[in-house]
Amino acid sequence: MVRRFLRVMVAAATLALGATGVARAVDADDDPRLDEPLTLDICIAIALDHNLELQAARLQYQSSRAGVGAAVGIYWPTFQVTGGGSNFNLGGEPFMVAQIRPQYAAYVDRHDLDQWIRGGTASVLQQTPLGSIIGVNYILNHTKLEPDRHDTPNYAFNAIFTQPLLRGGGWRAGTAGLRSANIESEIAAADLRARELFVIEQAKTSYYETLRSLQLIEVNQQAVARDSQLVRLSQSKLDTGLGTKRDVLSAEIQMEQDRGTLVDAQTSYAEAEDFLCRVLGIALGVHKLAFVPMPVTHDPIEIDGPKWLEKARRDNPVLKAATLTVERDRHLMQVAGNARLPQLDVSFGWEHLNDPDFNELRKEENAIRAARGDSTKDYRTTGTKGWTGTVLLTMPLGNKVLGNQYRQAELTYEQSRRLALEVERRTINEGRTAVRTLLNNVERLAILQKSIDGARSKLEFADVNFQLGRASNLDITDAQKDLVNAQTDYVNEVIDYKIQVARIEQLLGGF
């Protein structure tokens, strides 16, 4: 455990020394990749670099890592220095002077006595992961009385070790701040991964939606071209007496309907392009995006529902963040439980005190002993030294504040535990739904491919019969409508399939 803590301290120190600034985002509108035709991979790369919400999530993660460094900082020693001084004129009061320096009592009959005080303290405090506090203090106090300018300064040196035994004691309480900061950092990392997967899914979805609109524009442009040709053929037949005005009107109506559908597809393309720009993190209307021509084809993947659901339980970052939140709240509940305990601190230390007045007494005592011929023991004049120990016991009466804080932490933990369970169930439910939808897409694509083949055969047959005068243009317009509908449905189904695959990839935490 101690070794793991030291590794955390080293990593946090490296982070604190290395991450002294925040990386500034490069303006997405200056990205040279926007000047070239875009592919799906390029769109994903641009979105990962410039998406604004993703950049905010990265900053949040960096902030959480800085919080870990701040939490480690309490285990670094603290050095403190204080100093001060004063000057006092004690006047000619023999009584006052006699209390401080009796040898100056006769002097003050003729002169005022000045007291000159200078002092300072140097301290080093070190907190340990067990809640212990180690303090080393050096205290210097220099007092002089005129006319004696050579008084010996007194000083004290002590080292004190304090260990909480109940409240604030132990590894859990001593590392509570660091543990909370680490869990917060892990939650931020999971949130960042979830945001990255969401941006990838949004980039794919918006790219596919743009591709859908482009394909539907092409489908409807082909339909309008066929309609225009049918109008010309119907007019030619009318001019030669082989057709009727009804044929011409029917062909014109069909052409206008297909033109209306084409306008709708062009509007959908503009909306899809705007949404793609937002996902890429670029300003709307600044760039005219171009795309590498890409046919809408079905690229099937192997569908393994049970394996996917197990991976979602293990790797879904949203679920991972919810699980980490439960761990954090349980930790905070345990810390709040420790805070309810009485405070029982045991301290012991060593102290060395050097006082000139005390040393004078030692010298006088030694002189007396020497005059008596008693030399069996010589008192040292270096001051006093020895061990000290204290015990501090604090018990709050009633303990309403700490008790209710623990109850609040307990309820928060129970709440996060239930929310995590709900996130898990929702994730599994979305995964099951996505698998069913994907299987449905595969079956529908096979049916739609047959519908397209049948509609093309029907159109070719109607066109031949119309040329031979065996069919009216109603047969052609009907066949064209079937072909357009089948092609439209096929494009929509392929795009829906690709979007569903992207959605599953997000749920699984990546393939």
Whether 429 contacts 422, CB under 8 Å: no
Query: What is the reported pLDDT for 331?
Result: 92
Average pLDDT, the chain: 80
Average pLDDT over residues 30-34: 80
Average pLDDT over residues 176-185: 90
Query: What is the reported pLDDT for 244?
Result: 74
Percent of the chain having pLDDT more than 70? 79
Could you give the dihedral angle defined by the CA atoms of residues 35, 41, 43 and 44, in that order, rounded to the nearest 10 degrees?
-140
Confidence band of 12 (pLDDT split at 50, 70, 90): very low
Query: What is the reported pLDDT for 318?
Result: 92
Bridge partner residues of 123 (DSSP): 80, 137
Percent of the chain having pLDDT more than 90? 21
Confidence band of 373 (pLDDT split at 50, 70, 90): low
Confidence band of 225 (pLDDT split at 50, 70, 90): confident
Burial class (CB in 10 A: 0-12, 13-18, 19+), 85: exposed
Confidence band of 23 (pLDDT split at 50, 70, 90): very low
Quick one: DSSP state of residue 28?
A: G
Q: Measured between alpha carbons, how far is residue 142 from residues 85, 108, 158, 273, 276 in Å? A: 9, 21, 18, 80, 75
Among 72-81, 172-181, 289-298, 449-458, name the one with the lowest average pLDDT: 289-298
Report the run of H or E that residue 251 belongs to, with start and end. helix 245-280
Confidence band of 357 (pLDDT split at 50, 70, 90): low
Query: What is the reported pLDDT for 234?
Result: 77
57 pLDDT higher than 70: yes
100 pLDDT higher than 60: no
Among 128-137, 160-169, 238-247, name the one with the lowest average pLDDT: 238-247
Average pLDDT over residues 439-468: 82
Confidence band of 283 (pLDDT split at 50, 70, 90): confident
Average pLDDT over residues 227-241: 78
Average pLDDT over residues 153-160: 84
411 pLDDT higher than 70: yes
Query: What is the reported pLDDT for 88?
Result: 67
94 pLDDT higher than 80: no
> How many CA atoms are closer than 13 Å to the CA of 336, on its beta-carbon side?
21
Average pLDDT over residues 346-355: 85
Query: What is the reported pLDDT for 110?
Result: 47
232 pLDDT higher than 70: yes
Query: What is the reported pLDDT for 15?
Result: 43
Query: What is the reported pLDDT for 493?
Result: 86
For the chain, helix, strand, coil in percent to 5 are 65, 15, 20
Average pLDDT over residues 10-38: 57
Q: What is the 3-state secondary structure (H, E, C) of 466-478?
A: HHCCCCCHHHHHH
Whether 259 contacts 225, CB under 8 Å: no
Round to whole Å and give the CA distance between 463 and 251. Answer: 13
Query: What is the reported pLDDT for 288?
Result: 80
Round to whole Å and give the CA distance between 209 and 268. Answer: 9
Query: Which has the higher per-residue pLDDT, 132 or 305?
Result: 132
144 pLDDT higher than 60: yes
Kindly report, residue by residue over 236-282, the tens digit of the pLDDT: 877 777 667 777 787 788 888 888 888 988 898 888 888 888 888 88
205 pLDDT higher than 50: yes
Query: What is the reported pLDDT for 87?
Result: 74
Query: What is the reported pLDDT for 410?
Result: 92
